[in-house]
Structure 1
Amino acid sequence: MYSERDTNMPYTISEIIVLFFIYSIIGWLWETCYCSIKDRHYDYRGFLFGPYCPIYGFAVTTILICTHDVQNNIFLLFIVGIIVATLFEFVASLFLEKVFHIRLWDYSKLWGNIQGRVAPVISLFWGVGVVFLVKFIQPFVQSLVNIEERDTHGWLAVGITIVMGIDTILTIISVERFHTTTRMWDEHINSFIERVRVRVESRMSEKGKLKVGDWHHSVIQHFNELRPQPLSWNHKRFLRSFPKLKVLDAPKFMEIKKDILKKES
């Protein structure tokens, strides 16, 4: 079953799943505490509904597997950690953008960044983090996993797979609805701006192109008329917990998202 070890792998499948789950929770706790302190209000972090951040789980398990043969050499561990973590972060950013049309982080203002997805200073941070993780955190976590493997024989991994699988499906549905709602907002705003432009130009003695300036206030004034549908709790959580979140094909919604959140509260 899950607990059978492949001779080519340093961990069994069930160990990988449990490690993934543990580090997803640790990542969620870290981000929630750090961002709540930084933003001075409670941030329920994590892309999924549950209290875990899978991106940390995927990143750490990938790093543990890829660095297994160099864990006794701190310099090689640091270098391999930088490479693996940077590649993972780049691919994760690209995946979120291409599949969900959103971007959760943006390093565009940092020196040497690549498309705002990765940056040298962040990569160095990941390198140090990998060394600290492998040398100080993983030994303790692995001892817990060994006890779990002995007592449950891999059945905990089955439960984790089912729970997080359902959560992932529900989250994908929620994100797709969020994407649809934000695009509808943009369509309604553009239509509203066009109606205002036509109405104003019809009263002008000389016809010409009119640049509609500050449309933000007018849109909020007509909020109930323009709102395509209310934002769900999870959609509002996305906007509050991820201040750098960008819906790439709904730019006007992004411009007034704070005002919309105030109206939706």
Structure 2
Amino acid sequence: MPYTLSEIIVLFFTYSFIGWLWETCYCSIKDHHFAYRGFLFGPYCPVYGFAVTTILITTFPFQDNIFLLFIVGFIVASIFEYVASWFLEKLFHMKLWDYSHLKGNIQGRVAPQISFFWGIGVVLLVKFIQPIVQRVINWEEAWTHGMLALIIVLVMGTDTVLTVISVKKFHVTTQQWDERAAAYRRKLRERLESAQPEDRAVLKHRLHDWHHQFAHHLNNEGASKQLSWNHRRLLKSFPKMKITDSKYFNEYKKDIKSK
């Protein structure tokens, strides 16, 4: 093993933070508003930490071979991205990214174009970033003797538990809203079936535009107050987020005020 356990933990945290910083800056610029990225409460994206530490360990024997670095980075990062997407969907019924629009994608979870940049990123990481990070970690290990790693485990462990509770509550709320959405649509259909001919056009339009009207009702009732800060953050920072077992939520979520 090229790294000690405490070094692996600190590496994991460091690259989780770097990944969060990169995503937050990139998405904030792209979306023209501050996007607090990451699934957990804290400023870190564990998928980056897991992927990078695994890559550093698996590529250690041949870090002087740029081609092999690229290939391993391409493969390992793709596996982690796929597993992370599958995990979020199966456990939390959420999809935070979707590459279905890209050619060669696998179930929208990974795509060769994205993995290609992962491969390039791994080469840059190993050759230019990791040597600097490792020097800092060596200095930290000499001073803390593993205490920083223990603090990281406690903080991120607590964060994970709180995030799971928060997301479960968010899922319950979306299910309740979906039940109301179904009732709202059913009421409009019943009114359309019994409506006079002169009223049908208006009701057809309302039924076609039901998701905007339903979101308007939720907003008037203070929908955002039913959501925690973390729930509103997820809605705002992940506009392409989908709840996989909600039939209607994905249609009206973009109209819910997240402020």
- The offset of 1:198, in angstroms, is 2.1
**Is the deviation greater in 193-202 or in 126-135?**
193-202
Give the aligned partner of residue 15 of structure 2: 23
Give the aligned partner of residue 6 of structure 1: none
- Give distance in 1, aligned partners of 2:119 and 2:173: 39
* Structure 1 pair 136–221 and aligned structure 2 pair: CA distance change class (3 A): closer
Question: Is 1:241 paired with 2:241?
Answer: no
Partner residue of 1:213 out of 208, 212, 221: 208
Give the aligned partner of residue 250 of structure 1: 246
Structure 2-normalised TM-score? 0.91
Aligned partners of 2:37 and 2:237 also within 8 Å: yes
Residue type at the aligned position of 2:226: P
* Structure 1 pair 197–25 and aligned structure 2 pair: CA distance change class (3 A): same
Partner residue of 2:6 out of 14, 20, 44: 14
Partner residue of 1:41 out of 33, 38, 46: 33
* Structure 1 pair 189–202 and aligned structure 2 pair: CA distance change class (3 A): same
- Give distance in 2, aligned partners of 1:195 and 1:228: 25
Give the aligned partner of residue 255 of structure 2: 259
Partner residue of 1:231 out of 213, 227, 233: 227
- Give distance in 1, aligned partners of 2:59 and 2:92: 30
- Give distance in 1, aligned partners of 2:183 and 2:21: 42
Question: Is 1:64 paired with 2:56?
Answer: yes
- Give distance in 2, aligned partners of 1:186 and 1:229: 17
Q: Deviations over 1:21-52 (max 9, x none)?
A: 11111111111111111111111111111111
Structure 2 regions of 5+ residues with no counterpart?
A: 198-202
Question: Is 1:133 paired with 2:106?
Answer: no
Aligned partners of 1:86 and 1:118 also within 8 Å: yes
Residue type at the aligned position of 1:86: S
Give the aligned partner of residue 181 of structure 1: 173
* Structure 1 pair 221–80 and aligned structure 2 pair: CA distance change class (3 A): closer
Residue type at the aligned position of 1:65: I
Give the aligned partner of residue 76 of structure 1: 68
Residue type at the aligned position of 2:114: I
* Structure 1 pair 252–146 and aligned structure 2 pair: CA distance change class (3 A): same
Residue type at the aligned position of 1:213: H
Partner residue of 1:50 out of 20, 42, 50: 42
- Give distance in 2, aligned partners of 1:12 and 1:88: 22
Structure 1-normalised TM-score? 0.89
Question: Is 1:106 paired with 2:98?
Answer: yes
Aligned partners of 1:220 and 1:260 also within 8 Å: yes
Question: Is 1:151 paired with 2:147?
Answer: no
Root-mean-square deviation (CA, aligned residues, Å) is 2.0
- The offset of 1:203, in angstroms, is 4.1
- After TM superposition, the runs of 4+ consecutive aligned structure 1 residues lying more than 4 A away are 224-229
